[in-house]
Structure 1
Amino acid sequence: MPTNERGRFNKPVPKANLVEIDDFLEFEHFADEDGSEAVPRTGPGASAVSVQNMDMCLQVNKSNHNTTAYNNRNLVVRRGLEFIVQVTFSRPLTAADDFQLEFLIGNDPSPTLDTYVVVTFGSRPGGPWSGRVVENKGQTLTLGITPPPDTIVGKYRSYVAVILPNGVQHTKRDAKTDLYLLFNAWNKDDAVFYADEPGRKEYVLSDHGVIYQGSFDNMTQRSWDYGQFEAGILDACIYILDASKMPVFDRGNVIKLTRMASAMLNSLDDDGVLVGNWSDDYSMGTSPTSWTGSVGILQQYIRTGLPVCFAQCWVYAAVFTSFLRCLGIPSRVITNFVSAHDNNGNIVINLVFNSDGSQNTTETKDTIWNYHCWTEAFMTRPDLPAGLEGWQVVDATPQETSGGFFRCGPASVAAIKEGLLCHPFDLKFCFAEVNSVVVSSTIDRYKKVTPFDVNHNYVGKAVLTKAIGSTSSENITISYKYPKGSRQDRVTMARAQEYITGKTHPDLPKSLLSVKINADQVQVGEDVKLEVVFTNQSEDSVTVSAHLSGLVTFYTGAPAATAFKNEDFTVTVDTNQTQRVPFHIKAQDYLTDQASLLNLSFSVSAQNEGESVSAIKLVSLKAPKLGMTVSKAARLQKQMFASLSFTNPMTFPLTDVTVTMESSGLITPRKQSYSTIPPLGSITWTESFIPQVVGLKYITASLDCKNLRGVTGFIAVSITP
């Protein structure tokens, strides 16, 4: 429902940046002058001076501001750093002449809100931006303008105003003099200052990423093209803020901006960028596994104004990273392996089993994702105690509401590690994702729930991100949590519990019987070999009654079908011994005519004379890879070729196949369709392109169809001048 601001504000709050408006008449007489004289008047004996040209000095400014990569015809600069403008007048200026530069942002700009900025170059005071005359050469002045490091970020309209005795003569509206102002990770006084130059190059300037998926002990990687410098993407990011109706005057505040953006990147309550879909039915849009980058998503959103179908967590995280890097905020995609989704905020994940040992998927309300991806943004936190600045979790995947909207963060990573859950924003939920305690319980026919196992070490196995300047991973788990079982970990968990309301985990006596599941790493379509390992630390031999179940699941842990494996077995374990029970799972047991879901969940529950234990094993099946090659001559503005090849290893045909390829500065997003790829059938696809940039680039590709997903590949290519 539209918000009616009448009666609450003198005027509507300005919330639009990408507007085309006539800001004022070319000549505006002073309010305290006689309004009947609405024409310019010069001083006695003086000839009128006018502006002939305003040059935004694109090349020198973009180089100085690290914005050369932006494919944009307008000037792109960073706040807190001087940029140069050359103004040519109709004649050399005299001491009697006066002028000012004016920069306006949004609809209804106002000097009181710093959305109408006046820059002066003499003794007369101006607005918050400073100005100086760098060079005076005849009719042309070279001017230096420095916006403060907390200036509003967005697109500004630029004017030169000549001050006359009875008013102000403005230059005409000229879109070529518009400029974009960004956050500045190079300025120590900016809230997003990042002190390390390799880090700035990675987290602000790099347009390629690697996202980690799969499972903790069988990780896979997916290449992603962030595309933050591509044509139209900067406007798309500003459009997202406009669509959010965020007040223009708040857009210099990185905390408010990232929090608003985390809501706008999903569509659940505000017609945001992406529609989430975990159903495996993507017939009304694009499969999340088909995307290879952010450019197509953001371009479609600004073109249509409608949410783009479809996304899952890594798509949300990657597009959010594109948005943040485009605006100059250091950011990176994070993967948390074995990630808890705690529905009630008590840092406990409850897994419920039936009396026969099978998992009760109806009564298990919490979920444990194989992995979950979110975004980190780097910023100061003046609203928090010292030491909680730096990397902050910002998550656009719609999981739980925060302040009435599906959003998350910014949540201080340092606060998560220390268990300081009393601070904003969403620290309890983020803490639970990496630290939840898993409680296994049985439920009987009378709905009585009896806990039998508590596992403190299952969740948050590893937190990874792409390493700086490499396609390898960096393990940053220590940034989120102390080593499990350490003194610091116990202190953190105790501190976190002080902020938790509701039912906490039970204290159960330590069991002398334990169980775990081992599994080989296999490719989809291959048999799975499991090993259930029992360890008896008691002084007596025990006979265990156990149940093994296997499910095909979504990577979120939710079951995709009924169990394909349910088997009871008995094993005797001698005192202080380990007993291994092997299981052979045939491919046809978990496959039908498709392999779109690459996740298997095995659980075992076992009982011995009133003592119960359980274990879970997530098996992430590896998808086949794409073969990729590029032509050897890699020169700027010279035609090249990229080739992609694939052979179907499955025993069934792949139908309605879509292959995608893209690389920022090299190849715009391109698609190729195949109706059928038969078993052992092969395809080859070659695309020509002309490189527009130099340096190390990555071409990212994916193959996707309803009965096989997650097939990806990427290749590096170094473009020389």
Structure 2
Amino acid sequence: MSSKDVTQRQVTSSAFTDEYINNNYGFIWVGGQAIYWNYAVGSDVVAESVRRLADLMSPAERTNAVTYSRALTRVINQHVLLGRWDGNYGDGIEPTRWVGSEDILRLWLQSGGQKVRYGQCWVFAALLTTLLRASDIPARTVTNYESHHDRGLTSDGTSVLRQFDNIVQRDEDQWNFHVWSEAWLERPDLVQPADWNAVDATPQEPSPLAPGQPYRSGPAYVPFIRSNVQLANYDTLFILAEVNARGVCPITGQPLQIGTFVVTKKPGMEPSLYVFNNPEIITGNYKIPTTKRDSESASPSFPPTYTGCEREGGMRINSVPPNPRVGEDFVITVTEGNVSVEDIVIRMELRSYMGESLGFIRNFTGTRRVDVTESDYRPYVDESSVFRFSVGVYNESGAFILHDALRITLEYDMVQVDAMNVANTIAMTLTYTNPLSVPMTGVVVNVAGPDYSYASMAQPDIPANGRFTSTVTVQCGNNTDSNVMIPVSLDSNETLSAYGSGWSSCSERSSNGGIVMLSEISLLQVMLLSLLTLCM
């Protein structure tokens, strides 16, 4: 089946088409990091995957772009990718190692349709963006910070109302971030013009919420979410709650921050200019500011910091610097506001990106300043880069009487990538400095090369605070774009992944494009090898 049977060409400019349909390259915000991603829209593997997935849909699901985009969210998590969040990835591939869509889909096709192991929300979203673009549906990947997960939706969605008026239940989650996709769709079913629609392939809740129903989400019309139109269809209420739930802190009764930032890649930006703290902030597309905090979230102040349940005029907890980097010491300070107390307790807790507690690390008592060193948190950064500090004063019965909370997401330095092109060869020098005072072991470099090739290569240990340097050489194949972005990631046993990207051009091409070597050779050697090839 042709993808054009289920989509429409509602795009009004070539720049829009180039950005949201034809663009292979993306930048996805994942907590304190941003990932370069190769969407591989032009890949034969992607085209074949679109055809195979369409065969897994009913005729009704292939009726139009609205039903088709909803069906894609179902078939991706039902047939293509298996999600896992417990850290046990020994029988598959760790989600942080993926840097492109094509290799996941190739593994799926080669396995005869077995689910590829493993993905998390940004991997599901990136796959969905790829498949939407390859189906001629404009799409982009977006990240929501402080994302609420409503577990209480009934089949008609009405029970979500308690989230806006009362309290977020304790058995529900507030994720540090969540990633989904947006599809640009005309909505004749809603009598609405074309606009962005939220679609989410990450398995969260069945839709509708009932035994035996499939996991799928969207397309939820984003202008309806902003206007708080509580439409039961297309999971609009669920996504509305992700950004606009009105939860309160169970300790103080103060509002929780939910949907603090919604971000995506700026259109038209060359990959060589991508930086973590320069996204397009689209929070205002999803919510109308109703509080001072909402107004601050809509302003271009990024990356986000989280302050939780403080009582107005009461205690405040702060970090200096506000967004420390992995390996960096930082300071936690407490100001008392208009109260004076002695029995202060500061608790340091490790959190998963889904907001779950992974355990308390340490309590600090009787102090208003805590110097947090790299050695305090180093043993935990392989599990998460998210730490929650809470400060409280207890009464005689052990209950909090004053409270504030601060969630810190440690930022990672990016892998430095310097690329040079000689004829049909691109040489990339990868440089990364170990931010920890212990060696990084089990180091693996993952590369998504031209012509949608992929390689995962073991590397030597990186000494404590030592510098890693290696060179990847890739060849431009017949299908390689003139200008290419090559995403890389670096994994180890001690840290989460670090990411980077090379940006170069292909002046010549060969019939055997792809990644051909990774070694400790110099750029001069690469140039000599390339010139020798030209002379043969």
How do 1:11-50 residues align onto structure 2 when only pairs under 5 Å count? none
Specify the alignment match of 1:368 in structure 2: 174
Distance 1:231 1:239 in 2: 12
Deviation string 1:358-404 (CA, Å, 9 cap, x unpaired) is: xxxxx9422222211100001011221435x4111100111111122
Which residue in 2 is equivalent to 1:673? 458
Is residue 2:404 matched to residue 1:615?
A: yes
- The question of 1:347 aligning with 2:156 is answered no
Counterpart-to-counterpart distance in 2, 1:301 and 1:226: 16
Question: Residue 684 of structure 1 aligns to a residue in which SS?
Answer: strand
Amino acid at match of 2:473: E
Within 5 A, what are the aligned runs for 1:120-519?
153-154=2-3, 181=4, 190=8, 193-214=10-31, 219-242=32-55, 244=56, 246-248=57-59, 250-266=61-77, 270=78, 272-304=79-111, 305-344=113-152, 345=160, 346-347=162-163, 364-386=170-192, 389-403=194-208, 404-442=213-251, 452-455=252-255, 458-470=257-269, 471=274, 472-485=278-291, 511-519=312-320
* Separation in 1, partners of 2:493, 2:119: 15
SS of structure 1 residue aligned to 2:249: strand
Change in Cα spacing, 1:381 to 1:551, as seen in structure 2 (3 Å) is same
- Which gives a bigger RCO, structure 1 or 2 (Cα 8 Å, sep 6+)? 2
**CA 1:718–1:351 in structure 2 vs 1: closer, same or farther (change >3 Å)?**
farther
In structure 2, distance between residues paired with 1:552 and 1:250:
42
SS of residue paired to 1:289: helix
- Aligned residues of 1:342 and 1:348 also touching (Cα < 8 A): no
CA pair 605-428 structure 1, distance change in 2 beyond 3 A: farther
User: Helix, strand or coil for the counterpart of 1:402?
Assistant: coil
Q: In structure 2, give the amino acid aligned to 1:517.
A: N
Distance in 2 of aligned mates of 1:349 and 1:265: 34
Aligned to 1:498: none
Could you tell me how far 1:720 is from its partner in structure 2? 4.5
Q: TM-score by structure 1 length? A: 0.60
Per the TM alignment, residue 281 of structure 1 is displaced from its structure 2 partner at its CA by 2.0
When residues 683 and 364 of structure 1 are mapped into structure 2, their CA distance, relative to the original with a 3 A threshold, is: farther
Instruction: Tell me, in whole angstroms, the C-alpha distance in 2 between the residues paired with 1:651 and 1:519.
Output: 21
State the alpha-carbon separation in 2 of the partners of residues 349 and 407 from structure 1. 26
For residues 475 and 239 of structure 1, the distance between their equivalents in structure 2, rounded to whole angstroms, comes to: 35
| 1:603 corresponding residue in structure 2 | 390
* Alignment-derived partner of residue 366 in structure 2: 569
From the superposition, tell whether residues 509 and 675 of structure 1 become closer, same or farther in structure 2 (CA, over 3 Å): closer
1:296-353 CA distance string (max 9 Å, x none): 001111111110111111111101100110111000000111211222233269999x
- The CA distance in 2 between the partners of 1:689 and 1:248, in whole Å, is 42
Out of 476, 498, 517, which is 1:690 matched to?
476
* Counterpart contact for 1:515–1:613, Cα < 8 Å: no
**1:697 shift after superposition:** 1.9
Give the direction of change, closer, same or farther, for the CA distance of 1:431–1:400 in structure 2 (3 Å limit). Answer: same
User: Shift in Å at residue 670 of structure 1?
Assistant: 1.4
Q: Deviations over 1:145-198 (max 9, x none)?
A: xxxxxxxx44xxxxxxxxxxxxxxxxxxxxxxxxxx4666xxxxx3x5122321
- CA offset digits 1:440-467 (Å, max 9, x no partner): 225xxxxxxxxx32215x1111111111
Contact 2:40 2:101 in 1 (8 A): yes
Distance between the aligned counterparts of 2:104 and 2:233, measured in 1? 30
* Paired AA for residue 481 in structure 1: K
State the distance in 1 between where 2:41 and 2:189 align. Answer: 29
Aligned equivalent of 1:554? 352
- 1-side partners of 2:20 and 2:365: how far apart? 51
Structure 1 residues 300 and 370, CA, compared in 2 at 3 Å: closer, same or farther?
same
Q: Output the CA distance in 1 between the equivalents of 2:356 and 2:317.
A: 21
How many positions carry a matched residue from both structures?
469
Aligned residue number for residue 522 of structure 1 = 324
Q: For 1:594 and 1:460, how far apart are their aligned partners in 2? A: 25
Instruction: Indicate if the aligned counterparts of 1:335 and 1:465 stay in contact, CA closer than 8 A.
Output: yes
| Bigger CA radius of gyration | 1
Cα distance in 2 for partners of 1:707, 1:527 equals 17
- C-alpha spacing 1:631/1:288, structure 2 compared with 1 (3 Å): same
Q: 1:618 and 1:513, CA in 2 relative to 1: closer, same or farther beyond 3 A?
A: closer
| Secondary structure at the counterpart of residue 441 of structure 2 | strand
Structure 1 residue 660 corresponds to structure 2 residue 468 = no
Higher helix proportion: 2
Offset of residue 595 of structure 1: 3.2
In 2, the alpha carbon distance for the partners of 1:432 and 1:203 equals: 26
Q: Distance in 1 between matches of 2:12 and 2:45?
A: 29
The amino acid across from 1:410 in the alignment is: P
Task: Give 1:258 deviation, angstroms.
Answer: 1.2
Whether contact under 8 Å (2:483, 2:505) holds in the other structure is yes
1:426 CA displacement: 0.9
Cα displacement string for residues 668-697 of structure 1 (whole angstroms, at most 9, x for unaligned residues): 111211363343263413223125434332
Query: SS where residue 548 of structure 1 aligns?
Result: strand
Query: When you count strand as a share of all residues, which structure comes out higher?
Result: 1
- Normalising by the residue count of structure 2, what TM-score does the alignment of the two structures yield? 0.80
**C-alpha deviation, 1:509, in angstroms:** 13
Aligned letter for 2:386? N
What does the per-residue CA deviation read over 1:241-288, in whole Å, with 9 as the maximum and x for residues that have no partner? Answer: 32x3x124642411111111111211xxx3x21111111221111111
The amino acid across from 1:408 in the alignment is: S
Match for 2:337: what amino acid?
A: T
Kept after mapping to 2: 8 A contact 1:625/1:646 = yes
Partner AA of 1:239 in structure 2:
R
Report sequence identity in percent: 26
Where structure 2 has 5 or more consecutive residues not aligned to the other structure, the ranges are: 153-159, 296-308, 509-536
- State the SS of the aligned residue for 1:201: helix
* 1:125-154 C-alpha deviation (Å, 9 max, x unpaired): xxxxxxxxxxxxxxxxxxxxxxxxxxxx44
CA distance in 1, matches of 2:263, 2:310: 34
- AA partner of residue 347 (structure 1): Q
For 1:588, what is the secondary structure of its paired residue? helix
Secondary structure at the residue paired with 2:461? strand
Q: Which residue is equivalent to 1:178? A: none
AA matched with 2:47: L
Structure 1 counterpart SS, 2:219:
strand
| In 2: Cα distance, 1:210 partner to 1:380 partner | 26
Contact 1:453 1:613 in 2 (8 A): no
Measured against aligned partners, the alpha-carbon deviations of 1:572-617 in whole angstroms (never above 9, x if no partner) come to xxxxxxxxx3221222222228634211112223468999443322
Cα displacement (A) at 1:650: 2.3
Distance 1:652 1:182 in 2: 56
Judge which range, 432-441 or 320-329, deviates more: 432-441
Aligned counterparts, 1:88-127, within 5 A: none
SS of 2:384 mapped into structure 1: coil
